[in-house]
Chain A
Amino acid sequence: MKTVFINGSPKKKLSVSSYLLGIVRILTRGEVVKEQVRNPKDYERILSSIENADNVVFGLPLYVDGVPSHMLAFMKEMEKFCIEKNKHLNMYVVSNGGFIEGCQNKPLMQVFENFCKRCNSRWRGGVGIGGGVMLNVMRIMFLVYAGLFLLNTITAGINASFPIFAEQLLVVLFFSLGAFIYCLRMGVAISKGTDCGVKYTRILLPSFLFILAADVFFIIISIFQGGIFRGWLRKK
């Protein structure tokens, strides 16, 4: 069984989509191929790896309530390819949006369901995640905590450092728990060749706190990048 994981994020590094696909892969058995669509030069390579595949898993960010434009262009090519080669694939989608409500991914899921019908593939389900950027922040926090743990262990010994690290780890894990569980379940469904349904989850934080955190995040980034000093919120 061959599964092709297609990362639809335009980012070269540190994309939430590739992180989430990585979690789906943990419990995916069989041959696994990782691909990324960034421009039309990638099409030929990806389509040839789909040719003998059984499953395709898309991981992508939500752009203006829908699929990013460069992915839509790829999907059209993939539709033509599937019809020409008479391919019948199992298709899964993991999408993540910047807004906290996971259900804001709903139009994107419907687009993929329609896409499956057009290319004679079987829609196996998807996971729509809200607050995607924070998953990335959690990932970086984990590395920071792990570094501090190492430093603490050297200076104060493991007995003193471990309880602190364990607590930090649990907090980081808790926020991402919904995303982790549904992505792992998708991995199991792919291995069994079954449906995983369409599920929506989010960073497990009340929305008003998430909005506050997002505002602080953008203030910090805008200070560093200088936008705050260049008419940050002004009409241009």
Chain B
Amino acid sequence: MKTIIHDLGDFYDTLFKSKCENVISADGKYAPCQGCFGCWTKHPAQCYMKDALQMACRIIGKTDELVIITDNYYGAYSPSVKNVLDRSIGASTPFSTYRGKQMHHTLRYGKKEKLVVYTYGHITADEEKTFRYMVERNAINYGFREFEFHYLENVNQLEEFEL
């Protein structure tokens, strides 16, 4: 199963939906994570906030390949995309283990195949380095076996991509 998270608006949302079964449009019409841990300790794998992201962790947890398309914010995801990721920690459990020789949470849905991140917008050499490192760390955190990071000079390139 493949999931796409993007912050490109309606046109691309329709395009991606014609190519992929799970598309999360990061349109910002949802609240940021409040850090309550309720998705671990109170109502597992579910957020207490009843909006579009209430069950997002279940989709992200079950996916084999996660494709993220995001604007670049200082070598990190855009706020609306980061919001989706912040609200998805229920894809792991509150228990901890070692992964990549460091402490991480155990995975509710097990290991996944591949994390692919495309970023667009103006980016400096340092930001590109930071972003690649961030994606590498995220791949370990989410339990992806491999990761890819690409910079898109032009978002239109996506129209030809086999996502």
Q: Which of B41, B93, B141 is within 8 Å of A64, CB to CB?
A: B141
Q: Is the CB of B44 within 8 A of A69?
A: no
Give the contacting residue for B41; candidates A67, A110, A221; CB below 8 A: A221
Query: Is B133 touching A10 in the complex (CB atoms < 8 A)?
Result: no
Contact across chains for B74 and A111 when beta carbons are under 8 A apart: yes
Provide the B21-59 mask, 1 if CB < 8 A to any CB of A, else 0: 000000000001111011011111110000000000010
- The answer to the question of A192 belonging to the interface, with a C-beta cut-off of 8 Å to chain B, is no
Q: Which residues of A contact B37 (CB under 8 A)?
A: 218, 221
Give 1 or 0 for each of A43-86: 1 = CB within 8 Å of chain B CB.
00000000000000000010111111110110110000000000
**Which of the 9-residue segments B8-16, B82-90, B146-154, B155-163 touches chain A?**
B82-90
Contact assessment for B97 and A10 in the assembled complex, using a CB-CB cutoff below 8 Å? no
Contacts between chains A and B (CB distance < 8 A), count? 154
Known contacts A106-B133, A218-B95, A233-B95: does B82 contact A67 (CB below 8 Å)?
yes
Task: Tell me if A155 counts as interface (CB < 8 A to partner B).
Answer: no
Q: Quick one: which of A20-36 are within 8 Å of B by CB? A: none
Whether A107 touches B137, Cβ cut-off 8 Å, given contacts A10-B34, A69-B32, A233-B108, is: yes
Q: Residue of B at shortest CB range from A72? A: B79
The digit string for B109-134, where 1 denotes a CB below 8 A from any CB of A, is 10000000000000010110110011
Question: Cβ of A64 and Cβ of B89 under 8 Å apart?
Answer: yes
B133 in contact with A236 (CB, 8 Å): no
A101 located at the interface, meaning its Cβ lies under 8 Å from any Cβ of chain B in the complex: yes
A210 at the interface (CB under 8 A from B): yes
Interface, chain A (partner B; CB < 8 A): 9-11, 61, 63-70, 72-73, 75-76, 99-101, 104, 106-107, 110-115, 117-118, 207, 210-211, 214-215, 218, 221-222, 225-227, 230-236
Which 7 pairs of residues, A with B, have the shortest CB-CB distance?
Answer: A218-B94, A69-B83, A236-B45, A69-B82, A73-B79, A110-B130, A225-B42
Binding site for A on B (CB under 8 A): 32-35, 37-38, 40-46, 58, 61-62, 73-80, 82-83, 85-86, 88-89, 93-98, 102-104, 106, 108-109, 124, 126-127, 129-130, 133-134, 137-138, 141
